Amino acid sequence: MSSTCSPPGPRTRPPPWAEPPAPGSWPATKPPTAPPSSKPRSKKPPQPCKSRRWRRQRAENLPNRKRSWRKQPVNNSNSKIALVTGGAGFIGSNLIDALLAEGATVVCLDSLLTGRASNLAHLGGEPRFDLVEADVIDPLPQSVRRTRFTHIYHLACAASPPHYQADPEHTMLTNVVGTSNALRLAEEKGARLLLTSTSEVYGDPEVHPQTEGYRGWVSCTGPRACYDEGKRAAETLAFDFQRTGRADVRVARIFNTYGPRMRADDGRVVSNVICQALAGDDITIYGDGSQTRSFCYVSDLVDGLKRLMDSDVTDGPVNLGNPDELTVSDLVERVLALTGSDSKLVHLPLPVDDPRRRKPDISRAQALLGWSPKVELQQGLEATAAWFAEDRRAAWKGVAGKPQPSPGTRTLITGVAAE
């Protein structure tokens, strides 16, 4: 005997306004308190998707709207969770030491192209520090995106001519794409961002000393343009984010800086002269040595960066540098006397677009930040020469210059930072 049966249909519950079932029957639904309304339910019109483009357009229409970053704590170092891009470099590593000394939690993002992990090796056991190896022009790693940053110090970019001219495209992308990535992260987290710009935005200046209002004399096609114009573009991005209320921004224009952890091959005049004098090599002077520079010791600069970050200065950039101007020839004489070297002087042609004079006007920093450099040049040169001498001795013993274990892109080791 055969029979056909249709597949069972889906079980359905009676509507809530149906008659109550008999005792013990299924389902035991409770009677409603009131019959349903016979009026059709009104549907809300679809809401527009609040995409990034929508937010950007709204920001342009409402430039003065209040954002969450205005309520962020900025002066309590114990609550500070800081990202330092380019933190394995000369200035960045010294800044990280200062932030950790104040009780901050710090994450360093560095590609290690020009930065050195050895600059941060002494922080290997520090629970409030982590190093993430990544390039700021790439999408930011998830370990960084998940962190509740309150402050972002954006230092990432090769800053010496041999390094930034070696790959000008990457230099330009770091200044534009990398700065955009850092600003978008600041917008997302409600963090305050400090952009380190440069005195190179003044080019080969015709005004001395250089104030923040001076627009500069810059070539957009020369061999230094990837850095000079790149930093000008980075400033433009930063202040556009500031004007439209998307991020809380500070901009520092850094003049010549020197001190421990400089690279011997970075092509800067202080490191060149000291390393050549210590090695007994000929001292290279570009041009006749009459060009001037103003040298700021790194601890003074770090103090200025911290003061600017914690300030309310949002109406423009701030020069940070030492206003004491001296010629390159004077610097060479000081280093030779300090090291006791009998190195000979060799003059080479002056590079294209190399500034003839460089001296900052720091009256704005003095008035708004209460900042001025304190370390005398002789004292700073002694400390820098001692550091290079120790670095040379360590290299002879096979300690310095060894590649450090790559930390990769790691999850933060501090629990307070993860969202």
Active site residues: 227
Beta bridge partners of 133: 110
- Beta-carbon contacts of residue 39 (< 8 Å; ≥ 6 apart): none
User: 80 — phi, psi (to 5°)?
Assistant: -85, 125
The two beta strands, 283-286 and 345-348, are parallel
CA distance 98 to 311: 17
Alpha carbon of 301 to those of 44, 234, 399: distances in Å? 57, 20, 29
CA distance 84 to 100: 12
The two beta strands, 292-294 and 325-327, are antiparallel
Would you give the end-to-end CA distance of the chain in angstroms? 67
CA distance 321 to 301: 7
CA distance 81 to 72: 11
Question: From the CA atom positions of the chain, what is the Rg in Å?
Answer: 30
The answer to whether residues 292 and 326 touch, using CB atoms and an 8 Å cutoff, is yes
Instruction: Locate 170 and state its tokens.
Output: 């990457």
Alpha carbon of 54 to those of 59, 61, 205: distances in Å? 9, 11, 41
Q: How many CB atoms lie within 10 A of CB 170?
A: 19
